Amino acid sequence: MNKSERAIEIIKILDKTYPEIPVPLDHEDNFTLLIAVLLSAQCTDERVNQITPSLFSVASDPLSMSKISVNKIYKIIKPCGLGPQKSKAISKLSKILVKKFNCEVPNNFSDLENLPGVGHKTASVVMSQGFGIPAFAVDTHIHRLAQRWGLTNGKNVKKTEEDLKKIFPKESWNKLHLQIIFWGRQYCTARSCYGLECKICKSCCPKRRKPFVHKKP
């Protein structure tokens, strides 16, 4: 089975399993989405969704967020981990959005990735889930799954994103990114499947007999 055939099989399985897929991070607009995605770095979506109501009750737009202290932000978001860095980034990017973007979240990768604390993966999530612009956000779990499913050589996350974009239709990227995340959490977890157990792994690589060894991103 080549990569194109695997892609067709993967889409078929994912569409059947997740015909509709919710955005995992609770948010009201693009600013609250941006903050939620930033907070999700090295933190579970569930934990972020527990914390953001407290944060957004204090400040839910760039202007109000820019006016509260870094320390106050830190005290609220501390359970998400990396509190010192994230609280400073949230404060700084809010000030930039007020001063440079009229309190609006920019809808392009260049401006997003220039904001403090916003990397390519975070920008991709905001572009796809916030603006509906095709993007394929690849985190370490999607990187591992792409290796298991024989879709990439596993050199790094950037290369995996490039490979996935070549294999899957552009119109599928936004939904597919979320479908893969949910499939990975439910059926192809980092510590269970190892390329041998779930339906996608068995469909893509039916001759595999030994646990798949991942290449680190």
Q: Catalytic residue positions?
A: 121, 139
Asked if 213 and 194 touch (Cβ cutoff 8 Å), the reply is: no
Asked if 138 and 161 touch (Cβ cutoff 8 Å), the reply is: yes
Asked if 191 and 202 touch (Cβ cutoff 8 Å), the reply is: no
Which residue has 């990768």 as its token pair? 109
42: left (phi over 0), alpha (psi -120 to 50) or beta: left
Asked if 83 and 39 touch (Cβ cutoff 8 Å), the reply is: no
What is the CA 19 to chain-centroid distance, rounded? Answer: 19
Structure tokens that stand for 107 in this block:
């809808």
* Sign of the alpha-carbon torsion through 79, 31, 26, 158: negative
Longest dimension (CA), the chain: 59
- Side chain identity at 1, as an amino acid letter? M
Report the distance separating Cα 47 and Cα 25, nearest Å. 10
